[in-house]
Amino acid sequence: MTEKGFPEKGFTEEGFKGSRVQGVKGLGVFSRTPKPSNPRTLSGYIELRCHSAFSFLSGASLPEDLIERAAALGYPVLALGDRDGVYGAPRFHQAAKRAGLRALVGAAVTLDLRVQGFEGPRVQENAPTLYLLVANRAGYQNLCRLITRTKVRAPKGESVTTREDFEGQTDGLICLAGGADGPLAAALRNPRTLEPLNPLLTRLQRLFPNRLYIDLQRHLDPEEERLNRTLIAVAEHFNIPLVATNDVRHASPSGKPLFDVLTCIRNKTTLDAAGRALLKNAERHLKSPMEMAALFRDLPEAIANTQRIAEQCEFTLADLGYRFPDYPLPPGETPIGYLRALTY
Q: Alpha-carbon distance 188 to 238, whole Å?
A: 15
Q: Alpha-carbon distance 241 to 26, whole Å?
A: 20
This prediction has a pTM of 0.83
Beta carbons of 185 and 217 less than 8 angstroms apart: no
pLDDT reported for residue 330: 92
The CB-side HSE value for 162 (13 A sphere, CA atoms) comes to 9
Could you tell me the CA-to-CA distances from 250 to 57, 67, 86, 158, 333 in Å, in that order? 12, 11, 18, 24, 55
What is the number of residues in the chain? 344
Q: Alpha-carbon distance 108 to 58, whole Å?
A: 11
Q: Name the nearest CA neighbour of 143 among 188, 86, 193.
A: 86
> Which amino acid belongs to residue 302?
A
Q: Alpha-carbon distance 315 to 296, whole Å?
A: 28
Beta carbons of 71 and 99 less than 8 angstroms apart: yes
pLDDT reported for residue 233: 96
pLDDT reported for residue 294: 96
Phi, psi dihedrals of residue 188, rounded to the nearest 5°: -70, -35
Query: In tens digits, what is the pLDDT along the chain, a chain of 344 residues?
Result: 443 333 444 555 443 443 334 444 333 333 344 444 443 333 599 999 999 999 999 999 999 999 999 999 999 999 999 999 999 999 999 999 999 999 999 999 999 865 433 334 444 567 899 999 999 999 999 999 999 999 998 887 778 898 899 999 999 999 999 999 999 999 888 766 556 889 999 999 999 999 999 999 999 999 999 999 999 999 999 999 999 999 999 999 999 999 999 999 999 999 999 999 999 999 999 999 999 999 999 999 999 999 999 999 999 999 887 777 788 999 999 999 999 999 99
Beta carbons of 47 and 72 less than 8 angstroms apart: no
Burial class (CB in 10 A: 0-12, 13-18, 19+), 292: buried
Distance of CA 327 to the CA centre of its chain: 37
pLDDT reported for residue 113: 64
